[in-house]
Structure 1
Amino acid sequence: MSALHPDDAEIRAVYAEYLAGWNARSGARVSAVLTDDGDVVGFDGSSTHGRLQIAADMRRLFADHQTPAYVGLVRSVRSISDGVAVLHAVAGMAQPGTGRLDPGLHAVHTAVVVRDGRRWKISVFTATPAQFHGRPEAVAALTAELESVR
């Protein structure tokens, strides 16, 4: 855990808004917390550039797929330079219908967050699979930790 960033709560709130937009299956809400020239790299490696394109892609994704809901846990927020911070988090996804977290969908989230006027926005968001190959105890520990914050 890092020392608190001066705007720690605001930056964490931006991440929470991103997850809330995903969980509401709203491309508009997801993209609302991104910079106009933001980038998102998804769990599957797909990359999208630009807030408007991200919103459109998310709308299609949500229309075509029953996406699981995120459960996220921020690990740290730290300053990179004046007006730039990086947030590290872990996340799980609760399957529709069962509500159970699917360990195969655990991810490490990294967000580069920048001050845009008076508020913080995500400039780059990545979701990296947290598979912990060969370490089932690490998967089980992360699952238990995420279950505890639901």
Structure 2
Amino acid sequence: MDQEMAVKKTYEQLIKAWNDRDAEKMASLFTESGESIGFDGSLSKGRKEIFSHLHPIFKDHPTAPFVTKVKEVKFLGGQTAIVRAIAGMIPPGESDIKADVNTHHTLVLENEGSGWGIELFQNTPAQFHGRPELVEEMTNELRQLLS
């Protein structure tokens, strides 16, 4: 498997872990010093803290699954990669993307020899204040993945 595919696979595993509500798997994809910045701005550092943050969320809340699209994979030398993706969420019991929670996903990954680990995952709201056409454009791009 080439490096770009391996990096994308790590991101896909992250999204699958979220969609499966699997805090342990999600945390395991990070490096020991990896950091996660959530949609609300909360910061978790290290696998243990990432797990401790996610576990009660998955246990106590019906989290919406992500629909995602990788927009870019960029390598900074041979050991570091950046992934930029867009994501939408389909609330439980619904069939369409809820546009007001669209997000940009940014990941920095490090090749740890045995595979790619996530050093940083940032989940940034894509609200495009004052530009509703950009919200609609992103939502429609993600909706195309639903069919």
Q: Give the TM-score range, shorter chain.
A: over 0.9
Of the structure 1 ranges 28-37 and 43-52, higher mean CA displacement relative to structure 2 is found in 28-37
Q: Residue 30 of structure 2 corresponds to which residue in structure 1? A: 34
Aligned structure 1 segments of 4 or more residues deviating by more than 2 angstroms: none
Q: Residue 146 of structure 1 corresponds to which residue in structure 2? A: 142
Question: 1:118, CA displacement in angstroms?
Answer: 2.3
- Counterpart CA distance in 2 for 1:55 and 1:100 is 29
- Counterpart CA distance in 2 for 1:99 and 1:52 is 34
Task: Tell me which of 39, 46, 64 is aligned to 1:50.
Answer: 46
Q: Give TM-score scaled by structure 2 length.
A: 0.95
Q: Residue 82 of structure 1 corresponds to which residue in structure 2? A: 78
Q: Residue 14 of structure 1 corresponds to which residue in structure 2? A: 10
Amino acid at match of 1:73: K
- Counterpart CA distance in 1 for 2:105 and 2:87 is 7
Question: 1:57, CA displacement in angstroms?
Answer: 1.3
After superposition, what is the alpha-carbon deviation per residue over 1:62-96, rounded to whole angstroms, capped at 9, x for unaligned? 11211110011000001112300100000001100
Question: 1:52, CA displacement in angstroms?
Answer: 1.4
**Pairing 1:130–2:126 present:** yes
SS at match of 2:58: helix
Question: 1:32, CA displacement in angstroms?
Answer: 1.9
Q: Residue 102 of structure 1 corresponds to which residue in structure 2? A: 98
SS at match of 1:124: strand
Q: Give TM-score scaled by structure 1 length.
A: 0.93
SS at match of 2:16: helix
- Counterpart CA distance in 2 for 1:80 and 1:99 is 38
Of the structure 1 ranges 49-58 and 88-97, higher mean CA displacement relative to structure 2 is found in 49-58
Amino acid at match of 2:71: R
- Counterpart CA distance in 2 for 1:94 and 1:108 is 16
Aligned residue pairs total 145
Q: Residue 69 of structure 2 corresponds to which residue in structure 1? A: 73
Extract unaligned runs of 5+ from structure 1: 1-5
- Counterpart CA distance in 1 for 2:117 and 2:35 is 12
SS at match of 1:123: strand
- Counterpart CA distance in 1 for 2:117 and 2:95 is 29
- Counterpart CA distance in 2 for 1:125 and 1:80 is 16
Q: Residue 92 of structure 1 corresponds to which residue in structure 2? A: 88
Extract unaligned runs of 5+ from structure 2: none
